[in-house]
Amino acid sequence: MKCPYCGDIDNRVIDSRLNRDKTITRRRRHCAACEQRFTTYERIEMTLPMLVKKDGRREPWDRGKMLLGLEKACEKLPVSMEQLDAFVDKIECRLQDVGKKEIPTSQLGEWVMETLPELDEVAYVRFASVYRQFKDVNEFMEELKYFLHKEK
């Protein structure tokens, strides 16, 4: 592993830990050249389906892109990075379980819409406003009414 501080590859692992789900290994490393410590994460590389955008373009799954969108939806809310990581882990598992080579991004968006209220209701409303691309306040209110009715 290349040291992020000096670029040297001579380093050793000083500590390894698994996350709660035992899906990610966190490794603390010590660089022999510059004496700095740094952290790496190891996870299983999964074969995930290509995402088909609304305009027909295809792109690979990007965990970082999903996390960024969720971070924006959860900005200034009491949602931790651990919760967001766990949420994205569940989406990744669902993607893997589909067993298809391609999946429309609309399906991915619906999965997020289904489960996001469990994480935070305000984040759900924020995500829905971007995902559903409301044209006016009435469309937004209809989504809120549907959400409130579904909760009962």
Q: What is the DSSP string of the chain?
A: ---TTT----EEEEEEEE-TTS-EEEEEEEETTT--EEEEEEEPPP--PEEE-TTS-EE---HHHHHHHHHHHTTTSS--HHHHHHHHHHHHHHHHHH--SEEEHHHHHHHHHHHHHHH-HHHHHHHHHHHTT-SSHHHHHHHHHHHHHHH-
Give the per-residue pLDDT at 29.
97
pTM, entire model? 0.66
| Low-confidence residues of the chain: pLDDT under 70 | 46, 151-152
Give the per-residue pLDDT at 138.
82
Give the per-residue pLDDT at 130.
84
Q: Summarize pLDDT for 113-122 with one digit per residue, the tens.
A: 999 999 999 9
Q: Summarize pLDDT for 10-44 with one digit per residue, the tens.
A: 999 999 999 888 889 999 999 999 999 999 999 87
